[in-house]
Chain A
Amino acid sequence: MWIMIANIGWIVSAALILWMLYDWFRTDTTYSEETLTSSREGEIEAVQEQHRV
């Protein structure tokens, strides 16, 4: 059983790596670098304070 799980594990790992690389490529080509790297430390606090329910 463990041999089968290990073999399936290789296939699943390869598939997940390909999915992550594909999604990474798609994300990087869809959004600008400024948007993707726009996160700033501490800014969440400011956004939360402005939030209205």
Chain B
Amino acid sequence: MSSKSAAAGTPVQKVSLLRILGPAHVWALGVGIVLVGEYTGWNFAADKGGTLAALIICWVIGLLYTSVAMIDSEVTSTVAAAGGQYAQAKHIVGPLMAFNVALYLVFAYTMLEVSNAILIGDTIKAYAGDGFSDWHYKGIIATVIVVLAALNYRGVLMTLNVNFVITAIAYVAIIVLFFSVQPWSQGTILKLNEMVTPENALPYGWIGVIAAFHWGIWYYLGIEGTTQAAEEVRSPARSLPYGTMAGMITLLIGASLTWYVCASLMPWQYLGFTYYPLLDAGKLTGSAMLENLMFIATILAALASANGCINDAARAWFSLGRDRYLPTWFAAVHPKFRTPYRSIVFLVPIALAFAFIANLGQAITFSILSGVLHYTFMSVNIIMFRNKWPLGTIRRGYTHPFHPLPAIVLLALCVVTYFAIFLGYGAQLTAMVVFYVIMSLWFHFYRYRYVKRGDQFTMPWPKPQGY
């Protein structure tokens, strides 16, 4: 590695991110970010539309995310660069779209990290009892954010090894809970037919199902984060589709099991209100072992999610710096740890500030909104990608089936989700869109002059059709 004292004229030694990850790490990154959604968040859909609505959107939003995973796998297996969808947007749509997508990514992941830290603080506060003051609550939040940031700073391999272990424990906990309540024997512990009746299954009718889309996103929000690891996996064309698809299958099973257990133990009024559906399910079984297991698993799931979010937000921010969309100062890679260390540290105080002032509902909503804007882009992106570079013109690691059906399904479900968010959080939706418009104007009229226009397009592709 060259040092500062290197003689003038000596070629600069390159420092890049370390290509060291495999499919299991991709799985750990994607499922790790998302699994917390089974432990909290999805159940607010029951408040909007009843318990049956929560199941309907579990599968309908599952369809949305399956489309996301398929589309993402195809494009990322071709555009294997840190920044994931940002790099995709840059090559396929253009710089302004790419800048916006990177902002969506940074906001979605940072707000999700904040939500996880708040969730861990709230969970521990609920168990800590008297004497646990605001100082202690904030101490837990700060510890989560700073310790995980330091782990990310230290290296991506250790970060995602940790994520793999804690995500696996949190997922196995759901399986253990499911089999402990004897799902084959309704009436022993589970009472689905008493909790969900024809009268209360959809208390607000189909408009309630539409409104439930808002929180249904939480079942799977973040699985697309696997693509941020594109520059650090050994074989992106193989690992990314494999890890992402395996992650989606894992989550679809986990979400269905979670709904079944929780819906069979709690009435919809409570299910839609509690912050801890799986922890409460553990309590309702009457087993102290299951309650403790779900308590630990709730915290581990939130830790895994926050850990993955720090990884992804930092890489999106780093990519913006590398292309001069932000100051190049952010594009520094640590010569020893091979991580985007300045981006990681820069985002720590921002996460801490939001975690100390925002509440869980606001943080989750900002994350969901940024996510849905991002998915809308993906539906347009894949259609442009296939039109500009049809099959056979460039090498793809994976080709998703039934094109353009997944893109159309994704776009349609995004539109429904916007409507659902508008019903509950119209002001936030409007404020967020205004924010992105202002940032776009800033980028277009000010920042883009600093971008080296030829340097930002790095994929060795042929000219797109029609150009």
Contact = CB atoms under 8 A, between A and B. Distances in A.
Interface in B307-354: 319, 321-323, 328-329, 331-336, 341-342, 345, 348
A17 B146 contact: yes
Nearest to A1: B128
Contact of A2 (B124, B348, B460): B124
A45 B2 CA distance: 22
B1 A35 contact: yes
12 contacts: A2-B127, A10-B142, A10-B143, A24-B341, A24-B345, A31-B2, A32-B12, A37-B322, A39-B322, A39-B331, A39-B333, A42-B459
Contacts of B334: 27
B71 to A, nearest CB: 21
Interface string A1-36: 011011101101100110111011001011111111
Interface of A: 2-3, 5-7, 9-10, 12-13, 16-17, 19-21, 23-24, 27, 29-45, 47-48
Contact of B15 (A21, A30, A39, A41): A39
B149 interface: yes
A6 B136 contact: yes
Interface string B145-160: 1110110010000000
A6 B341 contact: no
Contact of B332 (A6, A10, A37, A41): A37
B345 A20 contact: yes
B188 interface: no
Nearest to B341: A24
Contact of B4 (A9, A30, A40): A30
B81 A42 contact: yes
B185 interface: no
Contacts of A12: 143, 146-147
B17 interface: yes
Contacts of B147: 12-13, 16
A24 to B, nearest CB: 6
B19 interface: yes
A7 B345 contact: no
Contacts of B12: 32, 34-35, 38
A7 B328 CA distance: 38
A40 B341 contact: no
Given A32-B6, A39-B15, 11 more contacts: A2-B132, A3-B132, A6-B140, A9-B140, A13-B145, A31-B3, A36-B15, A36-B332, A38-B333, A40-B16, A41-B458
Given A32-B4, A35-B12, A41 B127 contact: no
Nearest to B460: A42
